[in-house]
Amino acid sequence: MSFNDNASLDTSQVSGGGGRGRGGLAVGGGIGGLLIVVVGLFFGVDLTGGSNPGTTTPDPSSTLAQECRTGADANTNVDCRLVGTVNSVQAYWATALPAAGATYVRVNTVGYQGQTQSACGTASNAVGPFYCPTDKLVYIDTSFFAELTSRFGADGGALAQEYVVAHEYGHHVQDILGLLDNAQRDPQGATSGAVRTELQADCLAGMWANGAASTKDENGRAYLKPLTQRDIESALSAASAVGDDRIQQKSQGGVNPESWTHGSAAQRQRWFTTGYTKGSLQACDTFSARTL
């Protein structure tokens, strides 16, 4: 119940995946040679090998507009929570980034079901939520939020889900700031550019959490209620659940830091907490940090 019931939601910031899948990508395949390390929540592979057309899913945009009007809807409906979180995160950065000397540019989230095409390759729950720097869109299948609990072991709190959205928009902020190349140039290893990029996205998610209760809709109503300790624990449970060591231990039965792309559970929690407590871009400078 993290949203204020009377906050007003803007569904135009979340678009459907079906229509995009029928675009030039599937037909032309002109992006075949492009190698991009997609910055996701828990993986660091390029998706260009999987550029099959994908299934066509119904465009949820019209349904969202009918179902998701207020914060009360965001509290009860996972799709509306995605909309509300996208609204809140983008409203936060629209204020916070200019304060740091940069200009925020709004980008949409593609909310899809099953799989859809991105300019970076096929989006599906197998790869999880990600930000594609080529088309500058965030891709999230909201059924992932159930998986976050059942498959990865995060708790079921709203902030666990909201952290995921804020992390992906953190990558968009990095894109605006010209920092994403760090992940492309140095994609693997415990102190790699990729890990520093991902930990910074966690820190930027923490920054949003820090400012969330004072981030307001167009009518001046805060999207979120003041966060409780319980909310923060939910966000931390998600950050921990998608740590490289956790995922490796589960899938391979051992931990190999040389192939890390996102950082350990403890590191992801630490950087989220840094962003949450400090609330500044300077505090989130994982690229010059000596200890991650």
Nearer to Zn ion, 39 or 209 (CB): 39
- Quick check: 265 binds Zn ion (CB under 5 A)? no
Cβ contact 182:196 at 8 Å = yes
Nearer to Zn ion, 73 or 198 (CB): 198
- Quick check: 242 binds Zn ion (CB under 5 A)? no
By CB under 5 A, what part of segment 157-196 binds Zn ion? none
**Closest C-alpha among 113, 123, 137 to residue 59:** 113
Nearer to Zn ion, 10 or 198 (CB): 198
Exactly one of 9, 39, 154, 265 binds Zn ion (CB under 5 A); that residue is: 39
Please give the structure tokens belonging to residue 218: 């167009």
Q: Candidates 27-35, 79-87, 138-146, 200-208: pick the segment binding Zn ion (CB under 5 A).
A: 200-208
Strand pairing report for 109-112 and 137-141: parallel
Nearer to Zn ion, 195 or 222 (CB): 195
- Quick check: 203 binds Zn ion (CB under 5 A)? no
Please give the structure tokens belonging to residue 25: 């990508």
- In angstroms, the CA 198 to CA 192 distance is 10
Residue 41 CB, shortest distance to Zn ion, in Å, is 5
Nearer to Zn ion, 68 or 179 (CB): 179
Measure the N-to-C terminal CA separation of the chain; round to a whole number of Å.
33
Buried b / exposed e across 75-97, counting CB within 10 Å, b at 16+? bebebbbbbbbbbbbbbbbeebb
Using CB under 5 A, list all residues that contact Zn ion: 39, 198, 201
